[in-house]
Amino acid sequence: MSKSKGGGGTMMLAVAVGLVLASKHPLHLAAYSHPASHASGPSAAAIAYAEAQIGKSYVWGGTGPGGFDCSGLTMRAEQAAGISIPRTSQQQWAGLRHVGAPVRGDLVFFAGGDGTWSAPGHVGLVLGPHVMVEAYAPGVPIRYAHFGDSQSAPGDGNPVGFADPAAS
């Protein structure tokens, strides 16, 4: 059974992502506007939650409300959407249904400094082509970021794969 996680706003996403990628600068809230209202159902709620955390502190093992690590952020975002997923990126990767082509609201996984290709150590929430919300590392606030392209931060350039929390 196929699913749709929105579709309106595709042109806005393409323009916003194109401008950001062309600028060769990190994504900034002022330069990237992608309201969750362009998604529907659980995806919209998860995205809205994750976007509301932009600028909060990265906290190792953090699950909010003051700070998050990567998997704590994705776990709480999905919880806000009424979806229960495991706590760590490794457990999320192992327990969620993998998908080949991500849509808004899916999770993107990376080997990360504390993980491997079979047990990824980093995860972000997909907003669109090569754009996610992530809790990256200590000292880096929760942010919009590139993944899988030349603008990606170290470790975010080569995704392990994607998973759909709503299908699991």
90-135 pLDDT, tens digit per residue, is: 999 999 999 999 999 999 999 987 788 899 999 999 999 999 999 9
Evaluate whether residue 103 is within a structural domain. Answer: yes
- Coil, helix or strand for 124? strand
Position 79 scores a pLDDT of 98
Look at residue 16 and tell me if it is in a domain.
Answer: yes
In a domain? residue 27: yes
In a domain, 2, yes or no: no
Decide if 48 is inside a domain.
yes
We report the CATH number of the domain holding residue 139 as 3.90.1720.10
Q: Which two tokens stand for residue 129?
A: 């082509």
In a domain, 35, yes or no: yes
Residue 47 has what pLDDT? 97
Residue ranges making up the domain that contains 136: 10-167
């880096």: which residue's tokens?
140
Bridge-based pairing of strands 161-164 and 97-99 is antiparallel
Compute the distance between CA of residue 162 and CA of residue 158 in angstroms, rounded to an integer. 12
Query: Is residue 5 included in any domain, yes or no?
Result: no
Those residues of the chain that have pLDDT short of 70 are 1-40
Q: Has this prediction a pTM greater than 0.85? A: no
The DSSP line for 42-68 is HHHHHHHHHHHTTTPEE-TT-BSSSEE
Domain count, the chain: 1
CB 45 within 8 Å of CB 57: no
1 occurs within a structural domain:
no
